[in-house]
Amino acid sequence: MAEEEKCEECGKILKDKSHEPYCQQCDEKLDRQFDTIEDNISIFKELLDSEIEILKRFEEEDIEDLFKRVYKKLVKEEGGLKQESILVLNKLKKTFNLDESGLGLDNLPKAKDVERARPKEQCPQCSKKIKEDFNLCPYCGHKLNDDFVE
């Protein structure tokens, strides 16, 4: 008798094998998580370790396509690739041993070659250390919060 195959995620016996190695429910759940992770990368430039664990369940091809999509999206942002975009792309690249030239993409610039984003706790005018939630710089009076009305 053939061994019964079980969903790798929930352990239910697979009656319908079209979503192997997962059951339909788990497969759909993973797909939704994948979409959320893609948004998290391309919108928030974040890739959490827990998200990497989820991505590891997907095929290499899926990860390569994901990398290509987010890379192309982030490159098109105003001002080109930003420091945080490069950092999150590099994290994805290193974790999954991706090769951007092998994927038909330009090599990622080194993060240090891109102008460092100014730390939020520094006044852009006088460079003094300030609290992030200040509306005005206490040293030079520079307006720090665009929504602030005097």
Contact set with Zn ion (CB under 5 A):
7, 9-10, 12, 23, 26, 123, 125-126, 137, 139-140, 142
Phi, psi values for residue 49, rounded to 5° = -60, -35
Q: Minimum CB separation from Zn ion for residue 97, in Å?
A: 28
Residue 7 CB contacts under 8 Å (≥ 6 apart), including other chains: 13, 14, 21, 22, 23, 26
Cβ nearer to Zn ion, comparing 26 with 108: 26
Cβ nearer to Zn ion, comparing 48 with 126: 126
Q: Minimum CB separation from Zn ion for residue 29, in Å?
A: 8
Q: Minimum CB separation from Zn ion for residue 147, in Å?
A: 18
**Cα angle: 77, vertex 83, 88; to 5 degrees:** 90
Output the CA–CA distances (angstroms, integers) from residue 8 to 15, 26, 53, in the order listed. Answer: 13, 9, 14
Q: Minimum CB separation from Zn ion for residue 142, in Å?
A: 4
Cβ nearer to Zn ion, comparing 110 with 129: 129
